[in-house]
Amino acid sequence: MDPFFVKGAQLFLSLSLLIVLHEFGHFIPARLFKIRVEKFFLFFDVKFSLFKKKIGETVYGIGWLPLGGYVKIAGMIDESMDKEAMAQEPKEWEFRSKPAWQRLIVMIGGVTVNIILGFFIYIMIIAYYGNPVVGPEQMPDGIEVSEGFKEYGFRDGDQILAVNGAPYENNLAINRDMMLRDVSSITVAHTDGSEETITIPEDIGTTMFQSGESDALAPLIKPVLDSVVPESAAAKAGLKKGDVLTQINDEPINTWTDFKGSKKEGVNEYAVTYSRDGQLANTTVTLDDNGNFGVYPKANYKSKVIKYSFGESIAKGINHGYWKLHDYVAQFKYVFTKKGASQVGGFGAIAGLFPDTWNWLSFWETTAFISIILAFMNILPIPALDGGHVMFLLYEIITGRKPSDKFLEYAQMIGFFLLIALVLYANGNDIYRWITGS
């Protein structure tokens, strides 16, 4: 099946699940406090709905505009802007008639469900699948170092032993940790057997982001061919699986990065020297119409899966969820830059988080991550979001004064237009990247 449709189906299923559960987070406490819920919708039903059915006092339905979902709680100023109902005298079963603490619980219910759901999924993933890690034993060839990081003392082939003085479990996470967490030192074992503790600058994350060195310490992959695409340029030149590339157009090739860097703009033919069964040989590769060799490398590392009891999985899952939330919040310091703003994405970027083929592990990992993202975004103190309502309720609880309905109406309108502008900007970035291929 086309990857576009696979990603789209995963996105649709994930968001539908998360939206329904988020809205139930508002619905359940509202009903517990005897507040009438007039509508419960997956997606927005602007002008018309695809399906609706009234059960008791609530109309349940599916709208046609897949930009979220909502519950319409009686007596509450929300996106429906039902001024006629708000102009009437408050009823005992309305949101506005309830104590502020009850209204606060109703408003934080959706975010609470998203956080709990994200942590729960991570707990179940670790309990069922375990936790994959890549340590020095699983990465025998060590790391490949970007040119900028060689200035700090890192060398190709280094093994990462410790970070901030503590043993480091997963070498594949080192770039993320340098960009988003507090990494002050990295201890490595050089290929000559010596060990060195390298001091990391405080602004290393900003340096990596601005320079584009997001994979500054990557697994060192040797130029060994794991597969050669049939009828590709490499296959026609006689290259086979297991061949080791040693030289291209008189340039020595020591890593897969060297191979990728050997391709030059406008150059179509390449003199390739390779080793097969210990014997050197030469050939000429003429790139195909798309400028491709048609070869893939042999990965030099594999993960080790650590299994935990269910009790241990609870602690590990909560810890994993906490750091996912921490890292997501931490990356906002890059978003508020010229380069970061251009990388903000909408539904296309979210769909890109899912794999090209259906994989339940990846689906649940991505769904848990999106759930945590939704929780954070919804709790931001922006009118029209849950966080905006929470902000005004906290003001009421602290001061004892409730903002006027007219003020809340204007705040809701301003917040709504801000959100629409953000959605248009984010999805516009997606369209621009799709058109330009960037």
Q: Quick one: average pLDDT of 170-174?
A: 94
- CB count, 10 Å around CB of 137? 10
Read off the pLDDT of residues 356-390 as tens digits, 9 standing for 90 and up. 888 999 999 999 999 999 999 999 998 888 999 99
Overall average pLDDT of the 407-436 stretch: 82
**Range of weakest confidence among 39-43, 342-346, 400-404, 421-425:** 342-346
For the domain made up of 224-297, the CATH class stated in words is mainly beta
Q: Is 59 helix (H, G, I), strand (E, B) or coil?
A: strand
Residue 337 pLDDT > 70: yes
How far apart are the C-alpha atoms of 165 and 186, rounded to whole Å?
8
* Alpha-helical runs (H) found in 66-197: 83-86, 100-129, 147-150, 174-180
Tell me the domain boundaries of the chain: 1-14+93-130+307-437, 133-219+299-306, 224-297
Please give the pLDDT value at position 34: 95
Virtual torsion, Cα 76, 100, 375, 307, nearest 10 deg: -140
Percent of the chain whose predicted confidence (pLDDT) is above 90: 66
What pLDDT shows up at residue 87?
Answer: 64
pLDDT, greater one: 263 or 427? 263
- Kindly state the tokens that stand for 59: 């109309």
What pLDDT is stored for residue 125 in this prediction? 97
67 confidence band (pLDDT: 50, 70, 90):
confident
Specify which residues 272 forms β-bridges with: 248, 283
The pLDDT value recorded for residue 86 is 63
Q: Tell me the sheet residues that pair with 144.
A: 218
Q: What is the pLDDT of residues 109-120, one digit of tens each?
A: 999 999 999 999
pLDDT score of 428: 84
Same fold yes or no, 133-219+299-306 and 224-297: yes
Q: What's the pLDDT at 171?
A: 93
pTM of the model: 0.86
Assigned fold of 133-219+299-306: Pdz3 Domain (2.30.42)
Q: What was the pLDDT predicted at 84?
A: 62
Length of the chain equals 438
